[in-house]
Structure 1
Amino acid sequence: MRMLLNIFQICFVCLSYSFGEEINLYGDAGEAYAIEVYIGHPHQKFKLLVDTGSTTLALASYARNDSDKYFHANNSSSLYNSGNSIQAAYTQGTWTGFLASDFIQFPSLTDIPEVRSDFALITDSHDFFTKASGWQGLLGLAYMPVGAWGAKSGSVESWLDALDRNVNKPMSFHLKLCGPTSTTNTTHYGYFKVVDDRTPNSNTNKTFRTPVLRQRWYEVGVISIRVMSSVTPKTKEVLVEDKVKDPDEDMCVKLNKVKSIVDSGTTQIKLPDELFGQVVEELKNEFRKSQVLILDEFWNRREAACWPEPQVWTLPWLAIDLLSADADNQYFTLEIPPQNYMLVVGVHNSSDTTGTVSTYCYKLGLDAGGEETVVGYTAMEGLQVTFNRSAGWIGFQTSDCGSNARITGPYNASFSLKSNCQLLKPVAETATSIKAAQWALCAISTIALGVILYLLAPCIKTFFVRRMPRSQQISLSQAALVEEESS
């Protein structure tokens, strides 16, 4: 046991040295990145998924069939349990629980103080925790409008908002996602850092900024997602092109029809169904040129494809064009290598008469998202991504760890991307339909009451009319947490 511990410590030191910073994010195959947290007094230690697709810090407070690690409320002397019920629904999974507050500390964030923050004590969930997951909750990093809601509690304050209030200044954060360290390793690593806007960025590579169009989720303007030519770039050098390159207007309208978000809690790059089919068909055609057989079920993301040795992919790169924050007609391109979207989801060992045989299994890092677009962590590996919440932009830089992902541009279009891609029009949010319906019902009820009072005014002139109580918000659907790779 001591030898194994020493090996782990040596590996940890090597990883930290090679990445230049302390590694504080870890993820199992097919799952998002998690960070260690201390909650309560005395400290109870847990792992939370780092999720830019939701807002509320939510933590299991009950034993599950596949895990007996959870927050013991009675063991924390500093816990305040309001007793108010709250709940949240995600694209995959739901939970219900109680609004509580306690002291939250991240041991790897040595410059960030311990703060008292709201969080959810999850008492029941459905399809929220993945099978045998190594995490017990999630750290929501989005804006307040997509926090969990309760009948009595209203919206739940996020940990980041509590931190802003405590230090009396707005805070931003970096995500540097490195992926696995080798083709035979399914554990991926990364770095999470919280900074104020005056903290100098140690990454000196050029920053490409995209504006946050609506501060709920991190909603951005995705101009295009496409398959690049089979000629792959050789270096991470940033190319600058100022010539006019007009994107496909029809595609960018479809990509942003409902919303396009940057979500570290989602594994895949999700495209609207029609565009997903087009991109996958192009990849299938390229794959047919190789000598490797792969079934259609793989491309539809129903099954994993397995081989007796790790694969070195020669598939085309993917390009994700994002609206630039510098000009209305400008965009830049994230160039994603195939090792990002051909996800290692398991390395299985089996013994036979000849010894141990390893099987390497992969799944496609693309998925159909209905009418929505989600830039999951598959598109962030090999990059450093800065989320400046107060200024309202997301910055992308090439990184010193992970895949050979690149950023090129900026490119100029001959028209306004915000206008032609319809990025500023009101969005019909199916994800917030409950909230919208409640406000609509309240407005309709008020109007109807006014009409009735007007018609019955002669009969009730002597009576006092009490004000109608405002209807309560019940719940608010949020973005996808993470797709379950083990199903």
Structure 2
Amino acid sequence: MAVIFIIFKILVLSLSNCFAEEINLYGDAGEAYAIDIYLGHPHQKFKLLVDTGSTTLAIAAYAREDSNIYFHSDNSSSLYNSGHKIQAAYTQGNWTGLLASDFIQFPSLNGLPEVRTDFALITESHDFFTKASAWQGLLGLAYMPVGAWGEAGSVESWLDAVDRNLNRPVSFYLKLCGPVSATNTTHYGYFNVVDDHTRNYNRNKTFRTPVLRKRWYEVGVIAIRVMSTKSNETNEVQVQDEVRDPDEEMCVKLNAVKSIVDSGTTQIKLPDKLFRQVVDELKNEFRKSEVILDEFWNGREAACWPEPQVWSLPWLAIDLLSADADNQYFTLEIPPQNYMLVVGVHNSSNTTGTVSTYCYKLGLEAGGTETVIGYIAMEGLQVLFNRSAGWIGFQSSECGSNARITGPYNASESLLSSCQLIRPVADVATSIKAAQWSLCGVFIIATSVIIYLLAPTVKSLCDRKVRRLQQISLSQTALVEQESE
């Protein structure tokens, strides 16, 4: 056991030297990346999944069948429990809990102060925690309209609490490195919070895509396609003058509901028809040398070999709208080692000695009508999320796979228009907002009369309300957003 620990420490130190930063993200096979946090006073240590697909910081507050690690409310002297019930539903699983507030600190982020933040005490969940998961909750990094909600409103996010504490907007970046070798199932990475004055040590070109709607990190996906072998062999980095018109039908379908960048999701999820098309191309290419059962290509089963695989499959290309011009896009080029996921390395002994088995699953999934760019599309890259300016920047990275970014490429017309990326506000949402303004006017008049007649009482109530808001901060933004969809 001691030998394994020493080897692990040497591995982490060598990785840290290579990345010139301390590794602070870890993930088990098939799970997203998690970071260590301290919560409450005295500190209680937990692991939270770093999730750009949700907003609320949520943590287990009860012992589960496969884990007895959870937040002990009675042990924190700084906890404020509002007693308000809140809930959240995800693509997989849901939870209910109580709205609380306490201090959170990140031991790996020395320049970031400890801040008081709202969070959810999860008291009940269904299919939310994975079996034997090493994490106890989520660190939501998206915008307020997709925060958890309940009887008193939505929960302020940790990032908004940091903005308020520092009195300036902050951004964050993810450097996801994946496994360090073909025989390792643990993946590593780095998370950091930055502002516009932070020095960027990555000198590689930044390719920016706009956040089309500030709910999730919703972006314009122009195409997701299998690259030809010929294009894989080129080392082309930038092509600025070439005109490449995308498939408008594909583009519209990819963004029909929403296309989001989600570090909390493992796979790249595609609309059903496109998923079938991409997988058929990969399957046909693979069958030139070997056959895998359809259960693997449908994502239901893993395929195993007695030795680690070196994949000769085609690369995947993800074309994203450029923030520099509405008729430009750039391409994320994803190698097969990213989407052929190592999900298990097993050793067993028999009469002839030790036998190893290396198991893989496909990193693509049918997403119904939605498109989700999961973390496997970010491995080998550095991804900056500028929340206030509303863009995501992609840079090549020195860690992980040899993923590439090429472009920008020009289209002959506006991609915002041809791909229908700008959608008008629905009539229902407009009616709701008009009604809210009307009710607001009536409320102001009525309140003025009440305050005039009952000034002493109103003043006393307001004072109590102000003291309470110093403990818990709520927003109705999420409720309005949910009603308008």
Question: Shared fold by TM > 0.5?
Answer: yes
Q: Please, which of 299, 302, 309 is the counterpart of residue 300 of structure 2?
A: 302
Q: Offset at 1:359? A: 0.6
The superposition leaves residues 401-448 of structure 1 with CA deviations (integer Å, 9 ceiling, x where unpaired) of 0001000000000011001100011478xxxxxxx89x969969x99x
Q: Offset at 1:230? A: 2.1
SS at match of 1:23: coil
Number of the residue aligned with 2:418: 420
Q: Please, which of 368, 372, 377 is the counterpart of residue 370 of structure 2?
A: 372
Q: Offset at 1:476? A: 8.6
In structure 2, runs of 5+ residues without a counterpart are 440-475
Number of the residue aligned with 1:467: none
Q: Offset at 1:475? A: 11
Number of the residue aligned with 2:70: 70
SS at match of 2:392: strand
Q: How does 1:155-304 map to 2 (within 5 A)?
A: 155-231=154-230, 233=232, 238-290=237-289, 292-304=290-302
Instruction: Decide whether the 8 Å contact of 2:239 with 2:408 is kept in 1.
Output: yes
SS at match of 2:332: strand
Number of the residue aligned with 1:485: none
Ranked by relative contact order (alpha carbons within 8 Å, sequence separation 6 or more), the top structure is: 1
Number of the residue aligned with 1:87: 87
Q: Offset at 1:8? A: 2.9
In structure 1, runs of 5+ residues without a counterpart are 429-435, 448-470, 478-487
Percent identity (aligned): 78
Number of the residue aligned with 1:129: 129
Number of the residue aligned with 2:116: 116
Shift of the 476–361 alpha-carbon distance from structure 1 to 2, 3 Å rule, reads farther
Shift of the 236–403 alpha-carbon distance from structure 1 to 2, 3 Å rule, reads farther
SS at match of 1:174: strand
Match for 1:14: what amino acid? S
Number of the residue aligned with 2:43: 43
Instruction: Decide whether the 8 Å contact of 2:147 with 2:478 is kept in 1.
Output: no
The superposition leaves residues 248-273 of structure 1 with CA deviations (integer Å, 9 ceiling, x where unpaired) of 00000000000000000000001101
Number of the residue aligned with 2:402: 404
- The two structures have a TM-score, normalised by structure 1, of 0.87
Shift of the 328–441 alpha-carbon distance from structure 1 to 2, 3 Å rule, reads closer
Matched, 1:361 2:359: yes
Match for 1:370: what amino acid? G
Match for 1:326: what amino acid? D
- Give the number of aligned pairs: 445
Instruction: Decide whether the 8 Å contact of 2:178 with 2:187 is kept in 1.
Output: yes
Q: By percentage of residues, which structure has more helix?
A: 2
Q: Offset at 1:180? A: 0.2
Structure 1: distance between partners of 2:480 and 2:120:
13
RMSD: 2.3
Structure 2: distance between partners of 1:370 and 1:440:
29
Deviates more, 1:5-14 or 1:292-301: 5-14
Instruction: Decide whether the 8 Å contact of 1:181 with 1:402 is kept in 2.
Output: yes
Q: Please, which of 385, 390, 393 is the counterpart of residue 391 of structure 2?
A: 393
The superposition leaves residues 129-164 of structure 1 with CA deviations (integer Å, 9 ceiling, x where unpaired) of 111100000100000110000112x11000000000
Instruction: Decide whether the 8 Å contact of 1:104 with 1:115 is kept in 2.
Output: yes
Instruction: Decide whether the 8 Å contact of 2:22 with 2:190 is kept in 1.
Output: yes
Instruction: Decide whether the 8 Å contact of 1:88 with 1:476 is kept in 2.
Output: no
Q: Offset at 1:199? A: 1.0
Q: Offset at 1:79? A: 0.5
Structure 2: distance between partners of 1:170 and 1:59:
25
- The two structures have a TM-score, normalised by structure 2, of 0.88
Shift of the 472–418 alpha-carbon distance from structure 1 to 2, 3 Å rule, reads closer
Number of the residue aligned with 1:20: 20
Structure 2: distance between partners of 1:361 and 1:475:
45
SS at match of 1:279: helix
